[in-house]
Amino acid sequence: MTAAAPRPFGLLAELTYRCPLACAYCSNPIELARYDDEMTTTEWQRVFTEAAAMGVLQCHLSGGEPLLRRDLPELVRTASELGMYTNLVTSAMGLSRPRAIELREAGLDHVQVSVQADEPATSDRIAGIRSFDRKLEACRLVRELGWPLTVNVVLHRQNIDRIAEIVDLVERLGADRVELANTQYYGWAWRNRSALLPTRDQLDRAEVVVTAARARLAGRMEVVHVLPDYYSAYPKPCMGGWAQRQLTVAPDGDALPCPAAQTLPLPRASVRDAGLAEIWSSAPLFTAYRGEDWMQDPCRTCDRREVDLGGCRCQAFQLTGDAAATDPVCHLSPQHDLVTDAVARANGPEPVDVELVPRPHR
């Protein structure tokens, strides 16, 4: 029996995949041109209205770069008036003072800014454009205007050795929260995995820094550290469970249980064709891996099946070609060697010298 659909808590509204940056770790889809037919203001407002009616409390406005949408203040106002907590997830490129004031007046509750490194040369190289100074200026503007500030730093082989300096920078910016999130290998990050996957020594050194930072900054700044799946004995539960708490809507209206689910061989579900509540409760893309009925062994009989829920379906499909397979990150997976082989190469005696493929500017 298929589990009944719970009420979703959060909506990730990916307003556009256009972005001025060219980060090689980007998890946006490879086929970016497919998403050029972006939803209109009216279509997004309908989605927000339907999401609020379903019980969604948090609306994360993301991309790409959501500031490229001229109607962003209007969309923020709609979500705010519907009673949802609004969070802007941004590179901060384009967050001028007039734009920021307009967003504050529209009701924006929170700003999350991405930072690539702690100093200009490395940051600009990773981002693909000169952006470091503008990001810091935007972070200061966010604090000046009274918003809570989260700084997100995607960690990988190219910047993880500077994690102490990165934490120091974020502390100086007065952030309320820092997310030190190791790269998840989807989209462009998957294409660049060999150049991005850190070594075990790098991760161990980073953990020492994070542990010390948490103790030192307790009560002043929340320090979140997301470890890379590839070095874990067990996988993480996908989005807190497949189609359990979160949903994503892509720029063209595709509704997804997680941001990477467009890769799965299941029928497309679009808010341009059906209501959000109907999609959430009955679309095959949402029901296929909800609950436990779909599980194969060893997940089906594992004591942890209610803890990690078989791991990530998109990662399982990406690595094995079977979305119902046990996530190969799990050491109990019969295909765990797909992960251990990648880790062995990252930790091999020969230095990794692979050219990064940047995400195209759009």
Instruction: Give the whole-angstrom CA distance, residue 1 versus residue 8.
Output: 20
Distance CA 132, CA 93 (A): 10
Q: Is 330 annotated as a binding residue?
A: no
What token pair was written down for 123?
A: 């940051």
Residue 63, amino acid: G
Side chain identity at 181, as an amino acid letter?
A
Which positions ≥6 away from 123 have C-beta within 8 Å? 115, 116, 117, 131, 132, 135
| Residue burial 273-286, b: 16+ Cβ < 10 Å; e: rest | eeebbebbbebebb
Amino acid letter for position 38: E
Backbone torsions φ then ψ of 199, nearest 5 degrees: -90, 165
Q: For 226, which DSSP code?
A: E
Annotated binding site: 19, 23, 26
List binding-site positions for [4Fe-4S] cluster.
19, 23, 26
